[in-house]
Amino acid sequence: MSKVIDFLTDPSKYRHWRVEYDGPVANLFMDVDEDGGLFEGYQLKLNSYDLGVDIELADIVQRMRFEHPEVKTVVMQSGKDRVFCAGANIRMLGGAAHSHKVNFCKFTNETRNTYEAAEEDSGQKYIAAVKGSCAGGGYELALACNYIMLTDDSTSSVSLPEVPLLGVLPGTGGLTRVTDKRKVRRDLADIFCSVEEGVKGKRAKQWKLVDEVIPNSKFDVTVQERAREFAQNSAKQDITEGIEIGPLDRKFGNDGSITYSTIEVTLDRAANKVTLMIKGPDDEAPNNMDEFKNQGDQAYLFRLARELDDAILHLRLNERKLGLWVFCSRGDPALFARHEQNLFDNKEHWLAREVLAYWKRVLKRIDVTSRSMVALIEHGSCFTGILAEILWSVDRTYMMEDEFEGDNRPIARITLTEANFGQFPMSNGLSRLQTRFLDDEQALDAAQKAIGLELEASESEELGLVTFILDEIDWEDEIRIFMEERSSFSPDAMTGMEANLRFAGPETMETRIFGRLTAWQNWIFNRPNAVGETGALQRYGSGLRGDFDMERV
C-alpha cells in the first residue's frame, strides 16, 4: 500500500457519512459506500470501515466543534438496515501491510478519543443509537460515545468477536473501555469477548455493555427524545455561529518536502530524518476574541495547530522510513506569547476553549508518534508556552549556549507560561513538566516560579528543561553524532523503548489503550496465527477456521 494518503477532506467529498443538523441536536449517519475503499481488493460491506471512513469521521468531529458549536448532542447511528457497523474491514486488514494496520489502529484510537472527550471539552455529548449488528470496531465506535442505546429485537446485538473469529484483539480500545469505562465485570467481559454472536437486549444492559435498551417500536422516537433531553440539560452555552474551516495552505515539493504557511517540512532521506521548522507569527496578536473569530481559520494559533496536525499525520503514514523527527522553531517569542495570552485571557469564550482543546489533541499526537524525536533550541527560536510543550514531548532537547560567531539571531531562550502547567495534559493525566519531574515537586515549583522569564541555556539546564546545552565548538559535532547514532539503532527497539519512556507516572484508560496498541496489537498482527497463510485473517470468509500454532509464548 504505497499510495499517498491525504488526511484533509471536507463535506463535499464525503462518501461514507452524512450529518443532519437540527439546532442543538446533530444526527450523524454512518452509510458507508461499499465501493469507496482507499485501496482495491475489498468492498466495505455492512458498514465496515477502512482508514478513509475514519478520516471523514475525524473531519466531522472537528467541524462539529468549530463550525457547529450550537450542537450539544450528537446521535451516531447507521444509515443502513439491520446493521450498525461491522467494524474494520477484514479484507483490508488481511491485505494491508503491517505498518498500515498499526497506523490505521492508532488513528482510529485518536479519533475515538477525540469525540469521547467532546462532552468534557466542548459540551457535545455523543449518543450511539444501535440497531442491528454492532460488532468489533463497530462496537468500539459506540463504546467511545458517552451513552449507548440498543434496540431490543432479534437481530440487534453488541460484540467484540476478534479473538474467536480473527485471532486478533479489539485494537481501538475495545477491551480497555469494556473494563475501565463501562466497568463490566471481568468474568462477564471474558465471556463477552469469547463469543462471536455477542450479547442482546436486557442482558447487554445487565452486563453494563449498553446504557439503555428500548423496544424496537419505540426506538427511533426514544432516541430523539433522549437527545433533546440531554441537550436541554446541557451546561454548554448557546452559541449561534461558528467559524468555517477551509483548505490548508500546503505545497508539496518534488522531493516530498512540504511548505505550509507556518511550517516547513524538510526531508533528508539519506539520513532517514525530517526537520519540522515552526514559524512564529508575523502579525500582531488579536486584541480580543472578536478579532480572533473574525480571522476565522486564518487566526495564527488555529492555523498552526491545523498545519502541524496535518504534517504529523502525513509523515506518520506516508514517510515511514524517516525515523528521526527534528523540531525547530524561529520567530519572536514575545509576539508568540501575546497570541497565546489572548486565548488564556478569554478561556471562557467558546472559540478560545476549542483552540486550546485542539492544541491538547495535537500535542498528544506527538506523544504517541512512533518516531525518535528531538528538539533543537537554536538562536532565533521561539519555544514559548504552547510551543515549549514540544520540548517535553520529544525524547531529547539540545540548546545553543552563548553567542555563535557570525550568528546575528537573538540568543536562544525558553519562555514558560501558564500553558505549561496543566492546560495540556498528556494521556497519563499529568502535564508534560509533571511527567518530566515525577516526585520532584521542588523542580516543578522552581519551573513555575520562572514563568514569564526569558531563560537562556544555563538557566534552562539548571531548571532541568533541556537535555544538553552546547556551545559553538561542540554544537555541530554533538548533534551530528546523536543523529547518526539514532538512525543506526533498530527502529523496532526504538519504538518499544520510546513508547515506554514517554509515559512515566500513573496509568489511565488512555495510556492503556495506546500501550496495548503498541505492544499487543503490534505483536499479534505479525503472528502467523493471525496473518499467516492459514491464519484467521487470511481464512476469514472461507468457511475454514485458522490453523493455530498452539504454543504459548
Assign a CATH topology to domain 251-500. 2-enoyl-CoA Hydratase; Chain A, domain 1 (3.90.226)
Assign a CATH topology to domain 15-231. 2-enoyl-CoA Hydratase; Chain A, domain 1 (3.90.226)
Helices and strands, number each (H, E), in the chain: 23, 22
Please report the pLDDT score of residue 1 as a whole number. 43
Do residues 346 and 394 make contact, with C-beta atoms less than 8 angstroms apart?
Answer: no
Judge residue 408's burial from the number of C-beta atoms within 10 Å of its C-beta, 0-12 exposed, 13-18 middle, 19 or more buried.
exposed
Q: Nearest-CA neighbor of 85 among 48, 43, 112?
A: 48
Please report the pLDDT score of residue 515 as a whole number. 81
Beta strands of 351-471 (E only): which ranges?
A: 372-377, 383-384, 396-400, 414-415, 454-455, 468-470
Q: Where are the domains of the chain?
A: 15-231, 251-500
Taking only Cα atoms into account, the Rg of the chain, rounded to an integer number of angstroms, comes to 24
Please report the pLDDT score of residue 426 as a whole number. 96
Spatial CB neighbours of 549, under 8 Å, sequence gap ≥ 6: 528, 529
Greatest pairwise CA separation for the chain in angstroms: 79
Q: Do 15-231 and 251-500 agree at the fold level?
A: yes
Block means of pLDDT (10 residues each) for the chain, length 553 residues? 86 98 98 96 96 98 98 98 95 88 91 96 98 97 98 96 88 89 97 95 97 97 98 95 96 96 97 97 97 98 98 96 97 98 97 98 95 97 98 97 96 98 96 96 97 98 98 97 93 86 89 79 82 88 87 83
Dihedral (Cα; 358, 359, 363, 369), 10-degree rounding: 40
Question: Strands 125-130 and 73-78: what pairing?
Answer: parallel
Q: What is the pTM of this model?
A: 0.96
Q: Nearest-CA neighbor of 121 among 420, 433, 303, 360?
A: 360
Per-residue CA distances from 55 to 11, 16, 62, 476 (Å): 12, 10, 11, 40
Encoded amino acid at 458, one letter: S
| Spatial distance between the Cα atoms of 537 and 192, rounded to a whole number of angstroms | 20
Per-residue CA distances from 288 to 145, 334, 349, 386 (Å): 34, 17, 10, 19
Please report the pLDDT score of residue 2 as a whole number. 63
Give the count of alpha carbons within 13 A of 524, CB side only.
19
